[in-house]
Amino acid sequence: RDSEQAEIELLSGWEKQKRTSSKSLKKALSEVKGLASYLVLWQNDIHSIEGKFGNGIQSYFSFLRFLVLLNFIIFILMFSFVTLPIIISKYGIFNSTIAYIPPKNIEGNCTIYEPSDNEGLVYFYTYLKDLFSGTGFLEVTSLFYGYYTVDAVWISITKYNLPLAYLLATFAYLTLSFVWIMKRSAKGFMQNLVHEADPFQSYCNKVFAGWDFCITDPSAAQLKHRSLRYELQVDLEEEKLRQKIAERTKEEKLRIYSLRIFINIIVIAILSGCFYSIYRVTAFSQENSSDTENANSQANLLVQYLPSMVITLANFIGPLIFSFLIRFEDYTPAFEIKLTLMRCVFVRLASIGVLLFTLWSQISGCGKDKCEPCGYNYKLYPCWESDVGQEMYKLMIFDFLVILAVPLFVDYPRRLLVTHYSCKLIQWFGLPEFQLSDNVLEIVYGQTICWIGTFFSPLLPAIATIKYFIIFYVKKAILIHACEPAPRPIRASGSTFFFLAVLLIGLVLAFIPLAVSIALIPSSKACGPFRNFNTSWEAIPDKIREYPTVTQQILFGLASEAFAVPLFVFICIVMFYFIALARAHKRVIEQLREQLVLEGQDKTFLIRKIAEAQK
């Protein structure tokens, strides 16, 4: 400081003013950055959870916050480009109007769509039933696809192509989700790579460089202390298990591998049973829920909710069985979480695929000339996109109700019983644990439903945002007041990366049915913005045909195989180049590590020689 002050004395007045202004600006930016941290959603709550329960649990709540923000942005995107233009035009704002183009060369039977809107005196139960099933008054609102039966919107003298905007908004939210997930997973991947490359280096970093010396608040220091302690506990636990695995005899290895094979056979049998049950129940529900004689009864609501109930039951029982079986396979905590998550992924995410496959088989089932005039089963599904949106809506609502019901009727009563009663059977159950894999799969499952359902129900992301917002506080209350910390702590870096990897799997799974629905299945001729197109995808070529001939040739050329094949080859070459570059960097790093070890040995040898010479 004295040296710097001496240098300042030799500077001119302008230089002194410039340096003072630079320091003031840096200080102001630092204060603004500190104030901005208070605006981050749930910042203090997540830091408190990190200190009490470790980085692994904290990564789950950060993951939940990410999904809240993602769904909110998707909602803003769909509302701004799809819902808002129709609302503006219906009220004549900005001198706007709606343009309807009657379908051409289509039989009249295909254009009949009469949603069961409630009119006259209606019982309260009917409104409640419609609220939970998405039918009745809710079916004709902007929540579902059938509401957007508009071909174009004229805002003053500007034509707004709603079908094209609907399709591009769908591609935009899928692309946004993919880019954001990849960006967030890059940091976790790098941390995981560093840790797996050299565990001892990670341990040294925590011991010698893990403390944040900017911390001045005692409570913040305590939280950081607990966080480091949990990280070290994870390191020691994994090191202990690695030593145990290294000391296994051949008989122990044979016993463990045989047991793992047997357990995996049980897991495959459970998955097969779940998928077959979902298929049969969905087919039964679709065939019987449209029974007009039973339309206003409680049994009809039960039949409509049968697929959601069976899927939720499979999602609830499957992870419990997998969590019980994984204890006998003797894996490390990190791999235990990954394997349990992957097994639960096949139950939760593949169950959505089975449901959609069953719906498609019903929609496209053209037996006995059911869909010859229209290309789909127009008698059972006059507006099949709204029907799919209703299924996704019911799945999301029922999943949310189950997430709220489990803490209220299972976790809290279990804690009260274990705390206040000394019965051996009750004590054997013990306090509920916060199972990270189950909780992650819950929200990934719900997010996959949201991605799929947004095309068929554009306002579904708003429901997902509210749902995850409430779930954050529910899970926080369960963690603090009902659950005990897991006996095996969890590492944050690997967990965060793997959570996002599972979410990416959900996004890929969501993209497949959406691509099939947009490109292959004929669009409904009685509702929606694509009623004048054979498929939803045809809105893009139809728009391209309005451009000049040269532009058309360029765009159609970019979409042809003549361009796609060279592009794929080029991408493969670039990918192999980066793989080779990564391997070369890895070899250089290994050589540098060996060099550091040799230098350390040389220094030790020199110190020993100096000590001997001094004697």
Per residue in 322-362, pLDDT (tens digit) is 878 887 887 776 677 778 777 877 787 788 888 888 887 77
Question: Is residue 294 pLDDT above 50, yes or no?
Answer: no
In degrees and rounded to multiples of 5, residue 382 shows phi and psi of -65, -30
Residue 199 has pLDDT above 90, yes or no: no
Does 86 map to a domain?
A: yes
pLDDT band of residue 292 (cuts 50, 70, 90) is very low
Q: Are 232 and 325 in a shared domain? A: yes
**How confident is the model over 254-277, as a mean pLDDT?**
86
Average pLDDT of the segment spanning 197-218: 69
Average pLDDT over residues 289-299: 53
- Specify the residue for token string 């029974």: 291
Q: Is residue 555 part of a domain?
A: no
pLDDT of residue 198: 57
| 33 and 57 housed in the same domain | no
Task: Report how far residue 375's alpha carbon sits from residue 357's, in angstroms, rounded to the nearest whole number.
Answer: 17
Q: How far is CA 150 from CA 89, 95, 101, 108, 192, in A?
A: 11, 17, 8, 18, 49
Which strands, in side-by-side order, build the sheet including 152-155? Answer: 96-99, 152-155, 158-160
Boundaries of domain holding 161: 39-197+217-542
Q: Which residue has the higher pLDDT, 81 or 293?
A: 81
For the chain, what's the residue count?
615
The domain total for the chain is 3
The C-alpha atoms of residue 180 and residue 453 are separated, in whole angstroms, by 20
Share of the chain above pLDDT 70, in %: 85
| Whether residue 517 is found in the same domain as residue 588 | no
Q: Looking at the domain assignment, is residue 412 inside a domain? A: yes
Residue 466's pLDDT is 94
pTM (2 d.p.)? 0.79
Higher-pLDDT residue of 455 and 103 is: 455
Clarify whether residues 224 and 189 are in a common domain. yes
User: Nearest Cα to 448, choosing from 459, 434, 460, 435?
Assistant: 460
**Identity of the amino acid at 146:** G
Asked if 318 contacts 438 with a C-beta cutoff of 8 angstroms, the reply is no
What's the pLDDT score for residue 169? 92
Structure tokens at 297: 């009864």
Joined tokens for residue 569: 């080859």
In terms of domains, do 414 and 279 share one?
Answer: yes
Task: Tell me: pLDDT of 469 over 90.
Answer: yes
Q: Does the pLDDT of residue 101 top 60, yes or no?
A: yes
Give the mean pLDDT of the chain: 79
Between CA 166 and CA 77 the distance in angstroms is 10
Determine the average pLDDT of the residues in 38-58: 76
Are residue 33 and residue 66 in the same domain, yes or no? no
8 Å CB contact between 160 and 420: no
Which of the residue ranges 6-20, 367-381, 509-523 would you say has the lowest mean pLDDT? 367-381
- The reply to whether 469 and 605 lie within a common domain is no
Q: Do 56 and 111 share a structural domain?
A: yes
In a domain, 206, yes or no: no
Mean pLDDT, residues 470-477 taken together: 90
Question: CA-CA-CA-CA torsion for 298, 304, 306, 311, nearest 10 degrees?
Answer: -140
Q: What is the pLDDT of residue 486?
A: 58
- Residue of 537, 389, 552 lying closest to 529 (CA atoms): 537
Q: What are the distances in angstroms from CA 216 to CA 78, 211, 224, 609?
A: 45, 12, 11, 45
Render pLDDT for 428-466 as a digit per residue (tens, 0 to 9). 777 777 777 778 888 888 999 999 999 999 999 999 999
Is the pLDDT at 613 greater than 60? The verdict is: yes
Q: Please tell me the distance from the alpha carbon of residue 56 to that of residue 127, in angstroms, as a whole number.
A: 43
Residue 380 shares a structural domain with residue 512: yes
| Identity of the highest mean pLDDT range in 224-228, 282-286, 382-386 | 382-386
Measured distance CA(522)–CA(364) in Å, rounded: 9
Task: Choose one of 513, 542, 571: the last residue of a domain.
Answer: 542
Q: Are 192 and 497 in contact (CB under 8 A)?
A: yes
- Are 515 and 580 in a shared domain? no
Residue 111 lies in a domain: yes
- 34 with 50, same domain: the answer is no
- Residue 396 host element (H or E): helix 384-406
Other Cβ atoms within 10 Å of 406 Cβ, number: 17
pLDDT number for residue 460 = 92
> Please, which pLDDT band fits residue 282 given cuts at 50, 70 and 90?
confident
Closest CA to 440 of 356, 511, 505, 353: 505
Highest mean pLDDT: which range of 47-51, 66-70, 87-91, 405-409:
66-70
State the chain's maximal CA–CA distance in angstroms. 108
- Residue with the two structure tokens 């089963």: 377
Q: Are 495 and 592 in a shared domain?
A: no
Q: How do residues 499-508 score in pLDDT, each as one tens digit? A: 788 888 889 8
pLDDT at residue number 132:
78
- Least trusted range by pLDDT, from 8-22, 77-91, 532-546: 8-22
Is pLDDT of 176 > 90?
Answer: yes
Instruction: Band the pLDDT of 160: cuts 50, 70, 90.
Output: confident
